[in-house]
A and B are shown apart, each in its own frame.
Chain A
């Protein structure tokens, strides 16, 4: 059902802790590539170089579930602020409309008030969703 094999108890733990995000709404994603490619939408948990850290946080169910989701922002200003503060995240900003058909979306506003965590369904191509260049 989901594009990536999620860790155990995920996304159930997110359902317990967070409200679902608003669908049919525009979200922003910082990318390294222009146009974006699939690597720009790979959640941290699944990055090759994260393998060692994946093994370390096996017990922290919530943390690993959050890492297995993709960070999206609902507020463009917040995305730009992050790009300035952390240039290594990427130099480009793309946006797209997320609908129910694309995956599960949760409001996760721990720090950035508009931060969301997204779990894409299989067959969903994020590159096709995030086509509008914003910066």
Chain B
């Protein structure tokens, strides 16, 4: 249900979920890093995104549970403008740090996510775990195979991409990616 993107930011590979999609991904969350990325606009050679390093997990989770609005989250984050080049699909380059006051006026309302992302994510994982638990009955062998193949294909694709065009990442980031 939720698409995953692996992004490169500050020389680290991060697994993120697409949480808003409209003509392409418009908002990503990297749960392990407390990072939220918001699309701002298209430019000739790249997209401009806002990166929010959220100060604590509770704020991020409240936003993802649809309990607080985006302005509350941004107010409690360190903010950076990023360039997302069309040429490098996964690469986000930090341009500069921005103050909340600069960004605040871009949002006429303290708009929420509109749905409880965390609840949906847990439901999805619950279904996957459930399908594994009845694997022995062979009733869902096809769905389990598809799930495993999807994961495997994604991993192989990423490994091939990285092998042909190695990014500058630290060992932790690389390990994280391979374990994903």
Give chain A's interface residues, CB within 8 Å of chain B.
Answer: 30, 43-44, 49-53, 56-57, 59-60, 63, 67, 70-71, 73, 78, 81-82, 84-89, 108-113, 115
Contact = CB atoms under 8 A, between A and B. Distances in A.
Interface string B136-164: 00000000000000000000010000000
A89 B22 contact: yes
A44 B20 contact: no
| Chain B at the A interface: SS class | loop
B87 A85 contact: no
Interface string B31-47: 00000001111101100
Nearest to A70: B23
Interface in B61-76: 70
Given A84-B111, A86-B39, A87-B106, A49 B24 contact: no
Given A57-B89, A71-B22, A88 B1 contact: no
B86 A50 contact: yes
B26 A81 contact: no
A111 B21 contact: yes
B115 A82 contact: no
Contact of A88 (B20, B27, B42, B86): B42
B111 A85 contact: yes
